[in-house]
Amino acid sequence: MEHLTNTLNRISRETFSSLYIRNYRLYYLGQIVSTSGTFMQMVAQAWLVLKLTNSGAALGIATALQYLPILFLSPFGGLIADRVSKRKILFFTQSIAGVLAIILGVLVATQLVQLWMVYLLAFALGLVNVFDNPTRQTFYMELVGPDHLRNAVTLYSTLVNLARIIGPAIAGALIAAVGLAPCFLINGFSYIAVVSMLAMMRTSELITTPPVPPAKGQILEGFKYVFSTPVLRITLIIMAIIGTLTYEFQVSLPLIAQFTFNGDASSYAFLTASMGFGAAIGGIFFASRKGIAPDKLVSATLLFGLAILAAALMPSLWLTGAAMVLVGICSINFSSLGNSILQLQSDPKMRGRVMALWSVAFLGSSTIGGPIVGWFAEIAGPRWGLALGGLAALIAASLGAMTLRKTQVTQGKIPESN
């Protein structure tokens, strides 16, 4: 019995190692509250736009406005993350995000809200995320250090995927019972938890990097640095391909639920929840994994693509849901590996600018990829819309494998084949 207890304790410490670090534990507790609120607002905002317009195009515009700043301005946000204290930036961005949510909640509650206001607030939140995303990504390193980075990233990704299930469920119940406004107000006040936890951190225990002094050409310097570093370059290319065409589940899954299986909103929720459940399982499994290498990212990309293709071929809704569990497992392995590789392989003085490009590849690319996947699914069928993402992942894996082999041959690490 004692041996079993010791084994379970060891597995627990390996799986949840980052949570044994006080500052990360505080950050994580704050995010448990806030992230669920974020997904509540996403659902409520979509319903609000549809209620105001009954237009899918208007919904697409609202989403695009929220991601456009990330697509075009993230390199500037990454530079600020390299120049300024990350904890101070997060105090500012998280507070502003909370205020924006409360404003929208008040407008809805007083029935003064109009479509242009939703557009404006969505764009404003996108501007906040220009600075918030690269800062949050690089803040993990300050919280836990390089040895626990992948564990911290994976545990946070697990939290996000659980919130992706919990948040919409709470939002649905609130909307049915009391309307839309509470979803925005609760999300706004949830940021108090994040700001409070940031205030409680021990700054002496943060593993900080000296801020980069201002100078001309630093954004261009970041692009040149990534382009001249093969591992960073190919990792971001893989991310860009997959961010553009593979992570468009918000487009492909509703189409499959409605048109392939003649389902309704609950069918879409089932597929989304299945993927979130798989990601949660994968997060627990991969949290204790230590190996971080570009060749592992290639393998993870390949498995991700194959899982998506399997889901696209399933003959029933239930089997598709089962396949989406596997997609979720592969997804979290891929994303945590890519994130960790970029941070660990980056010069600390460049890390903010590198992770800003991760935001562009992972989030901003949806502005381009969503319409492409939607158009392709309309022309070829919903299954092909999902399959396009799987094929894109296979192409990304092949490109990554060829590039890594070429790099190893050039550096003399493996013999060049005839």
**CATH number of residue 322's parent domain:** 1.20.1250.20
Q: Which of 273, 274, 275, 253 is nearest to 264 (CA)?
A: 253
Both tokens of 210, joined, read 């000296």
Q: Is residue 135 part of a domain?
A: yes
Q: Which of 204, 227, 258 is the last residue of a domain?
A: 204
Q: Which of 204, 228, 251 is the last residue of a domain?
A: 204
Q: Which of 120, 160, 178 is nearest to 272 (CA)?
A: 160
pLDDT digits (tens, 9 = 90+) for 210-260: 888 888 888 899 899 998 988 899 999 999 999 889 988 877 887 888 788
Domain containing residue 111:
1-204
Give yes or no: residues 219 and 336 share one domain.
yes
Q: Is residue 209 part of a domain?
A: no
How does residue 347 score in pLDDT terms, banded at 50, 70 and 90? confident
pLDDT at 394: 96
Buried (b) or exposed (e) across 142-161, using 16+ Cβ within 10 A?
bbbeeebbbbbbbbbbbbbb
CA 287 – CA 152 distance, rounded (Å): 8
Give yes or no: residues 12 and 109 share one domain.
yes
Give yes or no: residues 120 and 264 share one domain.
no
**pLDDT surpasses 60 at 137:** yes
Query: In this structure, how many other beta carbons lie within 10 angstroms of the beta carbon of residue 370?
Result: 21
* Angle between helix 86-109 and helix 22-53 axes, rounded to 10 deg: 30
pLDDT at 122: 92
Under 8 Å between Cβ of 364 and 74: yes
Give yes or no: residues 34 and 143 share one domain.
yes
Report CA-CA distances (Å) from 212 to 141, 245, 330. 16, 35, 36
pLDDT at 113: 93
Give yes or no: residues 104 and 221 share one domain.
no
Give yes or no: residues 198 and 63 share one domain.
yes
Both tokens of 185, joined, read 């107000």
Mean pLDDT (the chain, rounded): 86
Give yes or no: residues 273 and 356 share one domain.
yes
Give yes or no: residues 233 and 95 share one domain.
no
DSSP structure class, residue 208: -
How does residue 48 score in pLDDT terms, banded at 50, 70 and 90? confident
Q: Is residue 125 part of a domain?
A: yes
Give yes or no: residues 357 and 384 share one domain.
yes
CA 387 – CA 306 distance, rounded (Å): 9
Give yes or no: residues 220 and 200 share one domain.
no
Whether the model clears a pTM of 0.75, i.e. scores above it, the answer is yes
Q: Is residue 210 part of a domain?
A: no
Q: What single string gives the DSSP state of each residue in 261-293?
A: S---HHHHHHHHHHHHHHHHHHHHHHTT-----
Residue linked to tokens 């997904």: 39
Give yes or no: residues 164 and 310 share one domain.
no
Q: Is residue 219 part of a domain?
A: yes
CA 331 – CA 318 distance, rounded (Å): 20
pLDDT at 317: 93
Give yes or no: residues 55 and 196 share one domain.
yes
Query: In this structure, how many other beta carbons lie within 10 angstroms of the beta carbon of residue 284?
Result: 14
CA 74 – CA 223 distance, rounded (Å): 12
The number of distinct structural domains making up the chain is: 2
Under 8 Å between Cβ of 305 and 394: yes
Q: Which of 204, 239, 257 is the last residue of a domain?
A: 204
